[in-house]
Structure 1
Amino acid sequence: MVSDDIFLQNKIKSKSDIFKNLFSATGKNFLHLYLNCNVNIDIIVLDLDILENFNIFTILNMKPKQQFLFLAKDRKVYQSLLRKFSGGASAVLFKPVKFSAILDNIELLVLQDKINTIKLNSYIQVDILKEQIYENDTQLFLTSKMHKLIIMLASNLGKLTTFEMIDEVVYDSESSSRVVMQNLVGNLKRKLNLNIKNVHSKGYILYTS
């Protein structure tokens, strides 16, 4: 929670028991807190009235998909930011705003993030909806066939992805040999350290690890 509003700070602190971790800061000290905090901060509730003292793009350079819940009094300030903003799934509430609305929107952002993003291991995540792969929050670009393969495996997490499915989606039904498919799967598995299990004569299953 980043705000110079003492009342709002105290209000959110009074609900600290509903959060796993809660950090509260002013515009002046938040960036230092963020840079030196070893906890992965899911959502930043940012009061845009302090934007002049706060460099949001320093955070986006570190974590391009950082989620924000913006609190704004002036639509022009928010619209000016939005033109340059390219972070993760975020929302805006225009003041005055009920505190319950802040909590409701935090919950929605957390749920949205969980639904769209699958964490495959300690550093690889896949956004199924946007079909994007991230390594330590930095977007990762693979070859076209590797990209199609990991999106399909992740979409089918814990379930069998057959050789026929791989041929149809990854190779556009070109009837590629299973040796070619096996090489592609093996290269992807080694490159990203993925937990992919071979199901004899049928296909592959991707698990989280």
Structure 2
Amino acid sequence: MRILIIEDNPDIVANLYGFLEPKGFVLDSVGNGYAALALLAEQTYDVIVLDVMLPGLSGIDVCRRLRSELHSTTPVLMLTARDTLEDKQAGFNAGADDYLVKPFSLVELELRINALHRRASGEHRHANILAVGPLSFNTDTYQVTRDGMPLALTKTGFVILRCLMRESPKLVPRDMLEQEVWGEDRPESDALRTHLHALRQVLDKPFAIPMLRTVPGLGYQLTEPNESV
């Protein structure tokens, strides 16, 4: 099993190597978030062990960008000294699969790594996941969730959301959305506005902070709930 360790504490890294390598795990390690994303753009791993408190780019941001920009479904086990519910919620909302609080048992770490790998191998190896913050879209099964809550979309809603998520956080021009939905056979009426209204009712109305934004005269933008326009 190939594991990437993203951790800036050399003592923790040395302990992980000393414990896991003799058991047959193949390990790589980096000490900051930017190096991690650069490596993950080129290499694939079975599990990622990710520290939250990293220099430059936090583990939360690394995980979020791993899901939204690299579209990776690799299981992520977060390591952190913070153990409040809010901290755990932030990690899971960013796309983490499991959470282990420091100081931790190396035996427990191995058990969790193996469990994540089994789950990914059996259920998600072929999944094609788009993710923007707490929003996840499995384009193989057309399952969409926000904060773990399933969202029921129309066929056109799926098409619009897929385009917005694929381009997020970039602004998507109106013409691009119409092309995505109807191709060259675009309706004469303002049907797109109707479909976007219906999408908002499902995507944003049940939640405190909207993700779908209209930029008048320019287009539409899907952003993470904590991002400003």
The secondary structure found in structure 2 opposite 1:24 is strand
Q: Does 1:22 align with 2:27?
A: yes
Per-residue displacement from partner, 1:97-135 (whole Å, max 9, x unpaired)? 111111111011111222324x6xxxxx2xxxxxxx538
Gaps of 5+ in 1: 120-124, 126-132, 144-209
Cα distance in 2 for partners of 1:34, 1:109 equals: 18
Alpha-carbon distance between aligned partners in 2 of 1:91 and 1:36, rounded to the nearest angstrom: 24
**Map of 1:163-202 to 2, 5 A cutoff?**
none
Report the TM-score when normalising by structure 1.
Answer: 0.50
1:59-208 pair list within 5 angstroms: 59-61=66-68, 62-76=70-84, 78-79=87-88, 81-82=90-91, 84-86=93-95, 90-117=97-124, 125=126, 133-134=127-128, 139-140=138-139
Number of equivalenced pairs: 127
Alpha-carbon offset, residue 6 of structure 1: 0.8
Q: CA distance change for structure 1 residues 85 and 35 in 2, over 3 Å: closer, same or farther?
A: same
The one-letter code matched in structure 2 to 1:84 is N
Distance, in Å, in 2 between the alignment partners of 1:9 and 1:52 is 18
**TM-score between the two structures when normalised by the length of structure 2:** 0.46
Shift of 1:26: 0.6
Q: CA deviation at 1:13?
A: 1.7
What is aligned with 1:3?
7
Q: 1:51 to 1:44 in 2, by over 3 A?
A: farther
Taking only the aligned residue pairs, the percentage that are identical comes to: 13
Verify the 8 A CA contact 1:4 1:50 in the aligned structure 2.
Answer: yes
Asked if the contact 1:64–1:86 (Cα under 8 Å) also holds between the matched residues in 2, the reply is no
Is the counterpart of residue 32 in structure 1 residue 38 in structure 2? yes
Q: In structure 2, do the counterparts of structure 1 residues 32 and 84 end up closer, same or farther at CA, with 3 Å as the change threshold?
A: same
2:170 is matched with none
Which of the pair has more CA radius of gyration? 1
